[in-house]
Amino acid sequence: MKIKIFAACSAAMMMLAGCGNTIGQNKDMVVDPKPKTTEAVPTIDEDSAESEKPEESTESAADDKKKDDKKTSKATTTKAPETTTKAVTTTAEPEMGTYEYFNGCILANSGTSQVRAMEEYYYNSENGRYLADCVDVYADSVGSGVNTYLMMIPTSQEFYIPDDLRGSYPDQKECADEVYSMMTSGKSVPINSTLEDHKGEYLYSRSDYHWQPLAAYYASKVFAEKAGVYFSALDTYEKVEREGYLGAFYSVNGIYPLEDAPDTFTYYKPANLDSLNVLFHDTYFGEGVQSSLFFEDNDISASYTVFVGTDDTILEVDTDVDNDRVLVIFKDSYGNALVPFLTSSFSKIYLCDNRFFNINSVDFAKEVGATDVLFALGAASSSSYDKISLIESNMNQ
């Protein structure tokens, strides 16, 4: 087995929080300097985005009540018979100069229906090499009989950043392509070009850093084609819309200009939903508890948790597909949105969060009979040393 990471004794492996590794020191360096006008305010930490609340505001009590009503009210969920996608005006690219830095994020088109918040993205080649090596070592460890893939999921900044800011940040496609080119055992699932082709559609929430399920559909299709499995067309799904969604950019970062143009969160329920058997296991893969794939009673403000519901679990989904293909997904929260679109492609799916996994990840894949393993990571995770180190540490539980 080719060893590219474990040059030091395995007893020296890092804890889940990541305080060092066997390759080098923690270096979340950037390719391009941070724009000088950026406020030095922390951006979203995905681990706590669903639970944190915005800081106290100095606005009037009436304004506070208005915000509270918008965050806590449960807008009526509507089911639309139409399942085709169409371009929407709220995804138009910001015009030059129509942006500001607001609480550590980029805010474009403030005061219009196209207002959009975006995270700042940074990358360095050392972390890219570390990610490629981690995926390669995992692929070598599970063996050539298991297909091991990496999908790096871009943020909305890649597609909707104002043109006059574009040169201030690394190109996410180029960064992903560099990582993919470094891998020798792992297989790449490049999705940037596909999402670029569809960026006129509602691919990303404007008030939240996650992608919309429609973007996950296109990404899942790319993966299914790469894996050589059947993939159901979008018009076989039931489309469900939730109006009035204000995500983490609003609730965590306190970017209140977003409140006058909330998102519509749209998700899709597979035709074989009633045939699925869904179990939730603890992070030690203990005995499973019967559950469901969708949590439709969740508040509008927590719309991204409609599918899967939580991250701190190991999800097991038995489908009605008879192809003996078993998929294990190691992911951050972006990966949750992939599962509904793969229930017609694999006979069994396991969803595991790198941050909440307390057993050896290689042994786990072998135990469940995995034929395919997908590392699905959002851009913030795939460029962060600490988040990448979780892949390595989970191989040494």
Position 51 in a domain: no
Q: Are 304 and 265 in contact (CB under 8 A)?
A: yes
Does a structural domain hold residue 63? no
pLDDT reported for residue 230: 98
If you average pLDDT over residues 109-120, what whole number do you get? 93
Q: Is residue 329 part of a domain?
A: yes
Give me the pLDDT at residue 86, please.
34
Q: Which amino acid is at 145?
A: G
CA distance 196 to 204: 12
Q: What is the pLDDT of residue 26?
A: 41
CA 140 to CA 3: how far, in whole Å? Answer: 8
Is 34's pLDDT higher than 50?
no
Average per-residue pLDDT for the chain: 83
Average pLDDT over residues 188-210: 97
**Phi-psi group of 285: left, alpha or beta (phi > 0 → left; psi -120 to 50 → alpha; rest → beta):** left
């006059």: which residue's tokens?
Answer: 164
Give the C-alpha separation, 209 to 207, whole Å.
Answer: 7
Please state the pTM of the whole predicted model.
0.81
Cα–Cα dist 365/371, whole Å: 8
pLDDT at 98: 86
Across residues 57-79, what is the average pLDDT? 40
CA-CA distance, 25 to 33, in Å (whole number)? 21
Residue 319 lies in a domain: yes
pLDDT at 309: 87
List, for residues 261-294, the tens digit of each pLDDT value: 999 999 999 999 999 999 999 999 999 999 999 9
pLDDT of residue 16: 32
* Residue 25: domain span: 10-31+119-394
The answer as to whether 86 is a domain residue is: no
CA–CA distance, 216 with 220 (Å, rounded to integer): 6
Distance CA 165, CA 98 (A): 10
Instruction: State the DSSP string of 51-62.
Output: T--PPP--S-HH
Strands, DSSP E only, in 36-165? Answer: 77-80, 99-102, 105-108, 116-118, 147-153
pLDDT band at 59 (very low <50, low <70, confident <90, very high): very low
pLDDT (average), residues 284-311: 94
pLDDT, average across residues 191-209: 97
Looking at residue 211, the DSSP 8-state letter turns out to be B
Within a domain: 307: yes
Residue entry with tokens 């790449």: 188
pLDDT of residue 122 exceeding 70: yes
SS3 199: coil
- Is 390 part of a structural domain of the chain? yes
Judge contact between 372 and 301, C-beta under 8 A: no
Flag whether pLDDT at 15 surpasses 90: no
Domain count, the chain: 1
The whole-number pLDDT of residue 80 equals: 34
What lies within 8 Å, CB to CB, of 182 at 6+ separation is 128, 129, 132, 133
Q: Tell whether 253 is covered by a domain.
A: yes
Averaged pLDDT, 333-352: 98
Q: How far is CA 361 from CA 132, 333, 354, 391, in A?
A: 17, 18, 9, 8
